[in-house]
Amino acid sequence: MPRTFTTLRHPVEKLLEAEHFIARMVESDGLKFQFELNAFLSASRSVTFVLQKAFADVPGFAVWYEQQQARMKADAAMRFFLELRNVSQKQGPVAFVGGSLPSGGWTYRFIGRPHSVPEALLGRDVGACCAAHLMKLATLLAECSRTFPFHSCPGRAFTEEGMVALGYGWRDVEAALGLPPGYTEVGDISAAEKLRILCREVEPLDRESIERIAQGDLRADGVRLQFPDTSGSDLVDDIAAMMMPGCATGGQPRDAFLGAILKRINDIESS
């Protein structure tokens, strides 16, 4: 049976899809922002689903991924995003509150309903939180690419080193490329040269995008995304805090807004 070559292409496509929705979040407000956030949560969650499917039969992957899962579960912010995706898909809208910016546009904060907001995400713009989460997923794919280089990239697999590491033969190459049996049995051409020529027929892994996102460089049409600078002490932070479970406002937006304004007035008068 011909060998099946694997690739990180589809997990990377999900990564880029999630980046696409973050870019749309930056330009959206109100209900449209909610739609883009929901789409981001779904696409970002799919990164690991598709990764596990693509590498299910790769030797050593199950053990490696079990270690990565333990690390992700220990990360409160990553667990929070998993919970948000479940809320978005099964319960209703993700809880957040927004406020206008002096320079125009909006900034948003997560509200701890029904799950508490991790300390690392408090006082941070929702878009910036999503970008930080995507960086971690890109880092996961980058580490997978380094750990399983020949399974991750067909361009690397179609080399002499890849042929030895994966243990495939020329019939496997012919079957993978849809070539007739014996097609590679030509002239006095070295194996390295044959593979170099045939490698043109496969799509190499987009490692550049993985590394770019892992470094926090998210883009839309080639332009780097910018997120609002936050101090954690903006009015929208006070409103978000007053909408948490157990607060006197009962989670009502209008009461939380008035309570936040009153708190600001009291702080000014007492200073």
Distance CA 87, CA 112 (A): 12
Least confident segment among 112-121, 197-206, 249-258: 249-258
Q: Would the CA dihedral through 55, 56, 60, 66 be positive or negative?
A: positive
pLDDT at position 76 is 97
pTM: 0.92
Beta strands in 163-237 (DSSP E): 219-220, 223-224
pLDDT at position 115 is 84
* 8 A C-beta contact, residue 14 and residue 213: no
Q: Is 180 helix (H, G, I), strand (E, B) or coil?
A: coil
Assess whether pLDDT exceeds 80 at residue 270: no
Instruction: Band the pLDDT of 3: cuts 50, 70, 90.
Output: confident
pLDDT at position 31 is 92
Instruction: Band the pLDDT of 269: cuts 50, 70, 90.
Output: low
| DSSP code of residue 140 | H
pLDDT at position 134 is 98
Distance CA 55, CA 61 (A): 7
Residue ranges of domains in the chain = 1-153+206-228, 154-204, 233-271
pLDDT tens digits, 55-113: 999 999 999 999 999 999 999 999 999 999 999 888 888 999 998 888 888 999 999 88
Instruction: Band the pLDDT of 191: cuts 50, 70, 90.
Output: very high
Tokens describing residue 133: 């989460």
pLDDT tens digits, 131-169: 999 999 999 999 999 999 999 999 999 999 999 999 999
pLDDT tens digits, 216-267: 999 999 999 999 988 888 888 888 887 777 675 556 777 776 666 677 677 7
Distance CA 19, CA 25 (A): 10
| Mean model confidence pLDDT for the chain | 91
* 8 A C-beta contact, residue 177 and residue 201: yes
Residue 23 or residue 254, greater confidence: 23
pLDDT at position 136 is 98
Assess whether pLDDT exceeds 80 at residue 8: yes
Range 237-241 contact pairs with CB under 8 angstroms and sequence separation of 24 or more = 237/109, 237/122, 237/123, 238/263, 238/264, 239/97, 239/99, 239/109, 240/96, 240/97, 240/109, 240/110, 240/111
pLDDT tens digits, 32-54: 999 999 999 999 999 999 999 99
How many CB atoms are closer than 10 A to CB 122? 17
Least confident segment among 29-33, 198-202, 249-253: 249-253
Residues 6+ apart with CB under 8 A from 238: 259, 260, 263, 264
* 8 A C-beta contact, residue 203 and residue 154: yes
